[in-house]
Amino acid sequence: MTTLTITRIAHSSVLIDFAGYRVLTDPWFSEKFGYYHGEPYGITLENLPHLAGVVVSHGHYDHYDMQAFQAYPDKQVPMAVKRGIAQTARKVGFSNVTEMDAWETTHFGPITVTAAPGKHGVPEITYMLQANGFTVYFGGDTLLIPELNEIPQRFPEIDVALLALNGLQIRPLGNLKQVMDAQDAAELCRIIQHL
Ligand SMILES: [Zn+2]
């Protein structure tokens, strides 16, 4: 029997294990002023297993912390990142970085990685990860946007959706919502399950 194991590391950083082929999402393994995990790491950077690949939804420090992640020893690990931000990973030595836009596909060994739309304070993508008959949706920090309505046509069977729902708002900008709240996330679940 094939298995799917998902381990929360911290914030949007999650390890998705497709029976030995593992994808790390949005690596964030350090803290600085104003940015605290508020939880212990599910897995520390030193204890990460060998990765089949890394996906990055957008360029914010708490999702794409290459200063810390440069300690990861395999510099050829495939990385998929939002178009326009590969340089940050290349600068610290990662050599196999692919920039993606929505609906583009790449592969981490047996894992099919398809970018999906996303919207946040900066350009963002989300990801559909597929292997061994499992489909996992990684929602990064996206807001609930109309472009996500296209997901169920392209991916009718999603087994797990990982969605941010802290409802972050930036108050000086007139309460502009930056991340979905729980109600938005429930609505997105309804959309992608075409209920
Ligand atoms: Zn962000």
Give 121 Cα–ligand 1 centroid separation in angstroms: 7
Q: What is the pLDDT of residues 122-180, one digit of tens each?
A: 889 999 999 999 999 999 989 899 999 999 999 999 999 999 877 666 655 555 677 78
Q: Quick one: pLDDT band at residue 67, thresholds 50, 70, 90?
A: very high
Give 161 Cα–ligand 1 centroid separation in angstroms: 18
Give 67 Cα–ligand 1 centroid separation in angstroms: 17
Give 2 Cα–ligand 1 centroid separation in angstroms: 33
Give 65 Cα–ligand 1 centroid separation in angstroms: 12
Give 123 Cα–ligand 1 centroid separation in angstroms: 9
Supply the DSSP string of the chain, one letter for each residue.
---EEEEEEETTEEEEEETTEEEEES-----BTTB--SS--SS-GGG----SEEEE----TTT--HHHHTTSS-TT--EEEETT-HHHHHHTT---EEEE-TT-EEEETTEEEEEEEEESSSEEEEEEEEETTEEEEE-TT----GGGGGHHHH-S--SEEE------EEGGGTSEE-S--HHHHHHHHHHHTT-
pTM confidence score: 0.93
* Residues surrounding ion ligand 1 at CB below 5 Å: 60, 141
